[in-house]
Amino acid sequence: MSFDTIIKEIYEEIKQIDNIGKIASYIPELLKVDSNSFGVYFSSNKGDNLGVGDYQDKFSIQSIAKVLSLSLAYSIKGELIWERLGVEPSGTSYNSLTQLETDRGIPRNPFINAGAIVITDILISNLPEYRKSFLDFVQALSGKKTINYSEKIAASEKEVGYRNIALCNFIKSFGNIKNNPEDVLDFYFDICSLEMNCEELSTSFSFLANQGINPYNNTQILTKSQSKRINALMQTCGFYDESGEFAFKVGLPGKSGVGGGIVAIHPGEYVISVWSPKLNKKGNSFKGIRFLEKFTTESRFSIF
Ligand code: GLN
């Protein structure tokens, strides 16, 4: 069976199932989305592309953006960034505070909030116009000038961002935040507020399926080794305390966000993005994971 047929069939099947997930409600603005939205975009290195359902509707990519901010920081500072954070799965939720005290302010990995906040601090220290530079980076990756931050979502998250505020200040107390915590948090909320559709998300992540080179404009974003390492981190840490289960069921490096998006990569082969806003208990898209599990099972095309 072709990828097209498999994707369309699984889409119809998963669309029908009961969605027991819940939209993230702690960021009030996220509740405004249509909870039945469901989109998929597949794009292979060979040039096969397919979009199904609401793949052209923009959504808040939230923590998926942590891979892009990490990529930019990694391209600027190289291996030095690992002096400020680790590369181990945390086994805790994305916004957990518990390990930071024993780890003396060194977050376990760049995909939990604590780690992404440190990466945000690194970007601020290294880019005079950090807000614009990050957006330029993302727009160049996707080839779309229309991609932007959502001021509404960033403001909505800031208003209730007590836990992230606590995380940032706690890390600062160990000396691992160099800038003013308020500036770091403002930029962190901006990064999380980026909006994309499934097609733009797949395009933006294609450099990670192509050994660090963006195939659309032939630009080297990361070295081959850096690209491999980011894929390894997505595999081990991309879904917080559900990372093991995602590797077990789906078998691809990937990253989720509380907006209900997931991007998954088969290095050397393809990128697939899924969006369905209702989340399971671990904060990952309920239907997104179900879809990807079926996709890699029926196509028999995962990395394992
Ligand atoms: N902006 C969200 C937060 O910091 C991102 C969380 C996520 O997508 N898992 O809580």
* Look-up of token digits 């530079």: 133
Quote the tokens at residue 304: 């394992």
Tell which atom from ligand 1 comes closest to the C-alpha of 94: 9
Decide: 258 in ligand 1 pocket, CB within 6 A.
Answer: yes
* Residues above pLDDT 70, as percent of the chain: 100
- CATH superfamily, with its number, for domain 3-299: DD-peptidase/beta-lactamase superfamily (3.40.710.10)
Closest residue (by CA) to atom 3 of ligand 1?
A: 113
Summarised one tens digit per residue, pLDDT across range 203-218 is 999 999 999 999 999 9
Determine phi and psi for 179, rounding to 5 degrees: -100, 180
Cα(48) to centroid of ligand 1, in Å?
32
User: What pLDDT score does 1 carry?
Assistant: 67
Q: Which atom of ligand 1 is nearest to the CA of 116?
A: 4
Per the CB < 8 A criterion, the answer to whether 56 and 197 are in contact is: yes
DSSP assignment of 72-135, as one string?
Answer: HHHHHHGGGGGGTS--S---S-TT--HHHHHTTT--S-TTSHHHHHHHHHHHHHH-TTHHHHHH
Would you give the end-to-end CA distance of the chain in angstroms? 20
Ligand 1 contacts CB of residue 63 (under 6 A): yes
Q: What is the residue extent of each domain of the chain?
A: 3-299
Does residue 2 have a pLDDT over 90? no
How far CA 118 is from CA of 44, 53, 84, 93, 138, in Å, comes to 33, 36, 7, 17, 19
Regarding the beta carbon of 120 and ligand 1, being less than 6 Å apart is answered no
Structure confidence at residue 302 as a pLDDT band (50, 70, 90): confident
Residue 109 one-letter amino acid: N
Q: Summarize pLDDT for 229-286 with one digit per residue, the tens.
A: 999 999 999 999 999 999 999 999 999 999 999 999 999 999 999 999 999 999 999 9
Count of alpha carbons within 13 angstroms of residue 225, beta-carbon side: 2
pLDDT at residue 66, as a whole number: 98
CA of 2 from ligand 1 middle (Å) equals 35
Query: How remote is the CA of residue 253 from the centroid of ligand 1, in Å?
Result: 19
Measured from the CA of 189, which atom of ligand 1 is nearest? 1
| Pocket lining: 94 vs ligand 1, CB cutoff 6 Å | yes
- Measured CA to CA, the distance from residue 202 to residue 49 in angstroms comes to 10
Q: How many CB atoms lie within 10 A of CB 225?
A: 11
Q: Which tokens is 10 given? A: 């699984």
CA of 61 to the centre of ligand 1 (A): 9
Of the pLDDT bands very low, low, confident and very high (cuts 50, 70, 90), residue 221 is very high
pTM (2 d.p.): 0.97
Distances (CA, A) of 19 to 52, 81, 277: 19, 39, 10
For atom 4 of ligand 1, the residue with the nearest CA is 113
The C-alpha atoms of residue 246 and residue 238 are separated, in whole angstroms, by 9
Distance 257 CA to ligand 1 centre (A): 7
